[in-house]
Amino acid sequence: MKTWTAHLHARKAPVLLKEGFAWGGYIFGPAWLAARGGWIPAALAIAAYVLIAVFAKDQATLLLLLLANWCIGLFGLDLLRWSLQLRGFTLAHVIAARDADSAFIRLMSARPDLADLYLPVGKA
């Protein structure tokens, strides 16, 4: 079982984020954050990369960049939650499920009113 957090907005579809280590964040770093909508965390990570490249000694640069990627892997999903909060989303539910689809089904069964966000305009 994995744990998911459901973030709700008044006029947008709910967003589910998994808890745990983000391998995509570790491998792709700031690009992963930006692709997931975390523009501010991505910009901060790029700024950290630039500072490491400018101020670190030659032997320590690679190690510090790998450490920065490890931190994005550890805290990347939390940074995305923060980014969602800045955009007006609120943490509404914590869901235990096998995968994202099961978590979404559990969310919809607990909150059927959210299904209206997925219906096209004029359809009921």
Q: Give domain status of residue 122, yes or no.
A: no
Nearest C-alpha neighbor of 7 from the set 89, 106, 105: 89
The residues, ordered by sequence, that sit 6+ positions from 14 with a Cβ below 8 Å of its Cβ are: 6, 7, 8, 92, 107, 114, 117
Residue 123, in any domain of the structure:
no
Query: Residues 6 or more apart from 59 whose CB is under 8 A from it?
Result: none
The answer to whether the pTM exceeds 0.75 is yes
Say if 124 falls within a structural domain: no
Give, as one character, the DSSP assignment of residue 1.
-
User: Quick count: other Cβ atoms within 10 Å of Cβ 43?
Assistant: 13
Question: In this structure, is residue 27 part of a structural domain?
Answer: yes
Domain total for the chain? 1
Residue 53: which domain range? 2-117
Per residue of the chain (124 residues), what is the pLDDT tens digit? 899 999 998 888 889 999 999 999 999 999 999 999 999 999 999 999 999 999 998 889 999 999 999 999 999 999 999 999 999 999 999 999 999 999 989 998 888 887 766 655 544 4
Cα 31 to Cα 49: distance, rounded to the nearest angstrom? 12
